[in-house]
Amino acid sequence: MEFCFLTACLVGAVALYVVFSWIIPRAVQNNAWWALLWHDRITERVRDHLTGSTRAERLLKAVQKNARRGDPQSVISAIDHYCRHSEWAMNVGDEKGSILDSVLSEVSPSCALELGTYCGYSTVRIARLLPPGATFVTVEFNPKYAKVARQVIEFAGLQDKVKLIEGASGDLIPKMKELFGNVTFDFVFLDHWKDRYVLDTKLLEDCGLLRKGSVLLADNVICPGTPEYLAYVRNNPRYKSTYYKSHLEYTKVEDGLEKSVFMG
C-alpha cells in the first residue's frame, strides 16, 4: 500500500512537472494575454516562493555561472539561453535584439539614453556597440533591478561605458543637462513603463534633449502595446516612423519595435 502511494505521488509529481514545464508554456506561445499572464505573473511568483529569490537574481546567477567575465556577447547569450529554456523574462530578447543592434549600428550614437534598464540585458547590447568615448545613460526606477543590472554590466566588462541612474524617468529627464552637461541624445531606447512612452517623449522634446535626426526606438509597441505612443509618433510631422515586426521575447506572439526619427 505504501509503495503504491509513493508511486502515485511520483507519477503525479512528474505529470505536474510536464504540465507546468512543457505543456502550458507551449500552449501559451501564440496568445499575448495568456503568455504574459503565465510567464510574467504565475510562474514568476511560484518560482519566487519556491526559491526564496527573485527572477532578476536568478538571471544574474545564470550569467555568473554560464557567461565569460568581460565578454558582453557571452553575457547576452547566457541570458537568452536562460530565458528561452529555463525562465522567461521581459528582456528585448534575441530576435528583437538583432533589430536593436542593426538600428544602433546605423545611428552610431555619440550620446545614447535607455529608459528601463531592468536587469541590464539591453544595456549590454547597446553598450558593446557604442563608439569609443560615447556617453550612455540608462535609467531604472526599481532599485532591486538596478542592483542586478550593475552586476550584469560589470560582469560584461562595460561598467566604464554605462552611467546607470536610479529614479523615475519623469523626474530624471529634466535633470539630464544638469547631470551630464549640455547633452542631446542621438539615440533613445524606450523600454520602461508603457504609459510613460508619450509623456517621456514629450519631456525629451521640451527639455531640448533631442536634435534633428535623433532616433527613438520603442520596444513592446504591440505587446503589451503602446497605442497612444504609436498614434503620437505616426501622426506627428516632427517624426518619421518605421515599424519593425517581430515577436514578444522568447514567444511566437507578435510584437515589434517602432523606430522614429526626430525631424526637428
Count of beta carbons in the 10 Å neighbourhood of residue 118: 24
| Marked catalytic residue, from 194, 200, 255, 259 | 194
The set of cell numbers assigned to 135 is 556617453
Which amino acid, residue 245? K
Count of beta carbons in the 10 Å neighbourhood of residue 64: 14
- Torsion over CA: 197, 203, 206, 210 (sign): negative
Active site annotation includes 220: yes
Active site annotation includes 191: yes
| Marked catalytic residue, from 94, 219, 255, 258 | 219
DSSP single-letter state for residue 193: -
| Marked catalytic residue, from 114, 191, 200, 258 | 191
**3-class secondary structure, 66:** helix
Active site annotation includes 144: no
The set of cell numbers assigned to 183 is 547633452
**Rounded Cα distance, 250 and 133, in Å:** 33
**Rounded Cα distance, 152 and 161, in Å:** 13
Cross-strand partners of 254: 247
Are the C-beta atoms of 151 and 158 separated by less than 8 Å?
Answer: no
Active site annotation includes 177: no
* C-alpha dihedral (84, 57, 120, 153), degrees to nearest 10: -120
Active site annotation includes 240: no
Catalytic residues: 191, 194, 219-220, 249
